Amino acid sequence: MDNHTYNSSSRRRFLKKAALTSVAWPAFQAQRCFGGSGLNGEIRIGLIGLTGRPDLVLDSIPNIRSARLAAFALADGAQPVMTGSPADLPPFHKRTRIYQTYQEMFAGEDLDLVACCLPNGRNVHASIAAARKGCHVISGEPFAQDSKSLGALESAIDGAKVHISAMCEMRASSGVAAMRQAIADGLIGEPILAFAQKSCRSLVNTTPWMGLDLLDGITYTTGLEITQASALQTKGILLKLANGGTGIVSVQDLGAKTRPEESFTRLRVTGTKAVVEMIGAQVKLLTPNDPPKELPLPPSRSSFEKFAAFLRGEASHLMTTEETFRVAHTALIADQAIQEGRLIRV
């Protein structure tokens, strides 16, 4: 088994949760049109793979009105990462169909929304296949392995007239929402320096994809696009922002044995008047002549919940299709800058 996939005990816990998720849903009709596409009622969700954040999908389904896990696929038929067959696994609830590959799943299912959680750069291929079946898509990282595959995905999404989003949980967090509001309200003045840091167990082996949510967190809170990227030592990225400000991303992989409570995320934005900083779940405003002020946090919902709410027409987009491709493109450029050891314009 690939070293980025779940071990057998984790997989059993995952499948047990999936079985419970499938029975948690009331069978009432949706009152609003799903994504403006003429789909009403139940949202049929497909999940592909066990890498990254399948738990994000399963934990979110009970909070999405009239949705259920209709199908689950273990792997990509073009590059299997698991052995055995669905019959070897603990059973799902009878309403959730299990497939060995997503190719088989798409041949046998009519789905509305697909979440891709595959290793080794395979998410882009599953996402393209989902789009061609008319499914909306949310993907974990790595989103695509190169510009060519990212371009192919963009063409597939555009041609199918569906939406795509990324599992960027920083954008969905209460802390980032509080920072974004504080900066929009002018509490720190003009942003001039943004520093994002993460220490965690990584599921990908390149710094930009490890720090995809950090790249997105900087642009989302400041409202400034990234215009240049270059390498900063071995696990860092130096960025130039659209207003001439500077961004720094630092990522540390703590290894496969890392427990969730050992992970650490920090986002700090310095402005011309003050500083706003998020450490873990706490956000503080730091001004020159006053003590630190803790900012109130709005309610938090996962990126998957918010994406589903948007597709139903019940909420605004948390991360538009355009923004999704922009942050993926930035990650590829930053990766190239690190690999080549030079400054590259985004």
What CATH number should be reported for the domain holding residue 230?
A: 3.30.360.10
In a domain, 262, yes or no: yes
pLDDT in tens, 27-38: 323 333 344 444
Kindly tell me if the per-residue pLDDT of 294 is higher than 80.
yes
Classify residue 185 by its DSSP letter.
T
- 227/286 same-domain check: yes
Are 231 and 177 a contacting pair, CB within 8 Å?
no
- 21/126 same-domain check: yes
In a domain, 1, yes or no: no
Nearest to 138 by CA among 56, 204, 64, 17: 56
Counting other chains too, the contacts that 312-315 makes at CB distance below 8 Å and 24 or more residues apart are 312/30, 312/32, 312/33, 312/34, 312/35, 312/43, 312/65, 313/32, 313/33, 313/34, 313/35, 313/36, 314/32
Residue 262 and residue 259: Cα distance in Å, rounded? 5
In a domain, 319, yes or no: no
pLDDT in tens, 148-186: 999 999 999 999 999 999 998 889 999 999 999 999 999
> φ, ψ for residue 138 (rounded to 5)?
-130, 135
Percent of the residues in the chain that have a pLDDT greater than 90, as a whole number: 52
94/24: higher pLDDT: 94
- 162/189 same-domain check: no
In a domain, 226, yes or no: yes
- 126/207 same-domain check: no
Close Cβ partners of 174 (under 8 Å, ≥ 6 residues apart): 281, 297, 298, 299, 300
Encoded tokens for 13: 């816990």
Q: What angle do CA 132, 137, 138 make, to 5 degrees?
A: 155
Domain of residue 58 covers: 8-168+305-314
- 277/243 same-domain check: yes
pLDDT in tens, 301-323: 899 999 998 998 888 888 999 99
Choose from 135-149, 208-222, 258-272 the range with maximum mean pLDDT: 135-149
- 79/56 same-domain check: yes
- 339/200 same-domain check: yes
- 15/54 same-domain check: yes
Report the domain count for the chain: 2
- 180/163 same-domain check: no
- 123/67 same-domain check: yes
| Single pTM value for the model | 0.83
- 182/144 same-domain check: no
Are 97 and 122 a contacting pair, CB within 8 Å?
no
- Four-residue CA torsion sign, 269, 275, 279, 283: negative
> φ, ψ for residue 55 (rounded to 5)?
-65, -30
Q: What is the largest CA-CA distance in the chain?
A: 65
- 59/179 same-domain check: no
CATH of the domain at 50: 3.40.50.720
